[in-house]
Structure 1
Amino acid sequence: MTGLYDRHLAVSPEWLALYYRHPLELTHGEGRHVWDADGNRYLDFFGGILTTMTAHALPEVTKAVAEQAGRIIHSSTLYLNRPMVEMAERVATLSGIPDARVFFTTSGTEANDTALLLATAYRRSNQILAMRNSYHGRSFSTVSITGNQAWSPTSLSPLQTLYVHGGVRSRGPYAELSDEAFIQACVADLEDLLGHTRNPAALIAEPVQGVGGFTSPPDGLFAAFREVLDRHGVLWISDEVQTGWGRTGDHFWGWQAHAEHGPPDILTFAKGIGNGMSVGGVVARAEVMNCLDANSISTFGGSPVTMAASLANLSYLLEHDLQGNARRVGGLLIERLRGVTAASPAVREVRGRGLMIGIELVKPGTDEADPEAAAAVLEAARAGGLLIGKGGGHNTSVLRIAPPLTLTVAEAEEGAAILGEALRAAG
């Protein structure tokens, strides 16, 4: 493995992050487990950053990919593409957006980039409202609206970005307020901000902040925001790259926890829908999607193979009620995690919904983030046979837990026990 790591360092950018002191080469997977090049088996609680959504090597998906690859792999959007049209029809219906149009991309970054293009063209404004602690991708436009400094390497931007309160419930100036008062304070802040701006195009927001450490506002915040945004003509973009497809358990889309005023104007998705294939996309009502006055295409977006994978994956997800499984098994997992972490002075908070759970670590006796502890727990969990992620707006001090949605009760119990041991070993 050292040889491959040395080769990686010789040809890769320094800023291309790798987990672990001795990075892993994963060679194959099955179900909720993966194996490394040394033959070690791991329970996977991160799914390649929430992307292996249903299961590793899911037979229905691998069969669909193989069959489509045997017919035709690529055509581009210059030709009619049956799998792409079929997938667009299903996504348009599931989105809840009336008269919806769907455009497929190859990543969440590209999906959010497209949403920004649509919003700024429709509103004829380069002002964007974004949430503090947010993450929306790695392109030039999406890093410029990312509110998490650790993932935004430049202040140069084609957009003017203004940041709004509300994405982090338990930190910041409103943390001690009740949920109702928290929403009122954030809405007042938004009203004040809009009073000092000329013509914002859109607010882009993750219903649950992913890279930010699986933080979320009280249910109803974005509904309250929407009432204000509508008065000012500002669009709402819901970034569902990590929250979509039932992962939160209670809802199919994250925006549905804030549904009083209906669906967003624009919805973006990616990651899990391809179960590892490179799929992203944008949904918007026709008036917004069709506002561009120039031609465009996508060479790789909506390719026959990735659409075949997505159709098979979506069918499996719906037919096996994986949203319900995320709610049931996720509820048990968060209960177990709260139990195994209750005695740890390093654990500030266990939070989440469904199979999207964060454990925030601090230096004992303080409220100060402890990224070194998070790194140590990551290593100890790996040694115990469990892969997890990390993130957070305070120096990556949050353990991120997001297993495939087919996780069993026994696997949830096993993972929680390993993580409890890892916390004790690292502490």
Structure 2
Amino acid sequence: MKKKHRGQALLRRDAAKLFAAVCVTFVLARALFDQRPRRDKNGLRIKEIQRIQAGTLSAKEFFAKFGDDVPVIVEGEVKHHPAFNMSFDTLKEACGKSMVETKVFDRNSKLWGGLVDKKYMLLSEYVDNHVLNQGNQTSGEPPRYLTAGLGLPQICPRLELYAPVPKYVSLSVFPIDGAQYKQTKKRNQLIMPVMFIGNKGTKTEMHVDMMLGPFWMSVYSGSKTFRVVTYWDARRRWDLFNKRGKGNHLIDHTRWERGGEIMEIWNPNLDIFPEVGEVTIYEGKVNAGDWIYLPSAAFHGVRNDDLSWGITINALYPATMNKQVDVCADSGYRLSCDGYYGYSDCPMKSFLTTSSWLKKWALKQCYRQSALVQGLKREFDESRARDMFLHEISGFENYQSWCQGQCELYRTHARAFGMGAHLLENVCRQCQS
């Protein structure tokens, strides 16, 4: 009798194991199926951008898992940033006297992202007329998009306390002033980060960023949908350098035109642009509190699904340097993609005037021998990456000393930065708050 019960128990145990194995297999198969590209109604090959939860991976683990190969959304990564709780009225109170750059989208424009009609205005004016009230839209004017113009250090330095640089990308080679660095050994941030604010329907069409580096954005309000094509996929399937006269000038900062029609990633005509249906288009919605990463030289279009604002920086990270150099060399060094060496305190600048494979080798050696880069890499390898304020990244002890450093820098170089008395006064006044 005991043997019979024991046999039944073993059968139940084996059945439970088999059921668990089947469930795991089903879940894995479903996950793999969900990651396969699908064809949308326009015939595009769409694949969902991978998503992970905040706190799942360290910076080192993040790049070990994803490399610089695919876009990734980290859900909830910046919810703890003070900017996540800012209303547009609060933003106006903090930065209302700052001068910002706005544009409108023109589907017929060949310019970067399809954005035209640049207008400067106070942030308070933009928020009142184009965000909260949207008054100008009733007159038939397209909605204005606050786009990357002057960086926060030049328009609203106090915002650095609300929007730190996330841990994944805080140990970076940033655009700096070389002369200032030699004098102070402090990596003064000059032109980044930049803000993007726009109402529902504002967008940028497919483009690639200057310097062909990685891209990231912290989204603090609303939501944005990204469509992304990786560089190497585009390289394989598109006439990326227009060698066959197919009208593709995306790599040269103009839109793709053929037969009098311009390619639109949100509504493409595959009869005219059949190649768009051949690449994998990564798509994903980035909600308030999320953070998105795109690999080096990724082509992307961004659409605001509702009133949204976010912050971004173009920089280069220890884990991505070799791959960015590979892309840069393959592109023929377009869009100043080799320019990061100038911000890296590179000891081999004389080699970088050469061409072809020697320049590619020299760029990689430049980063390997740069004391600045190796210091960043050491911190990264030791898993010391964390959220950082701009003043910390720049080598200052606190916000006030960093802001005053910006103020003095702009006083000395106001003309070079195109800063009038109003902008300069606005920056320097914020150093006391």
TM bucket by the smaller chain? under 0.3
User: TM-score if structure 1 supplies the norm length?
Assistant: 0.23
User: TM-score if structure 2 supplies the norm length?
Assistant: 0.23
Structure number with greater Rg is 2
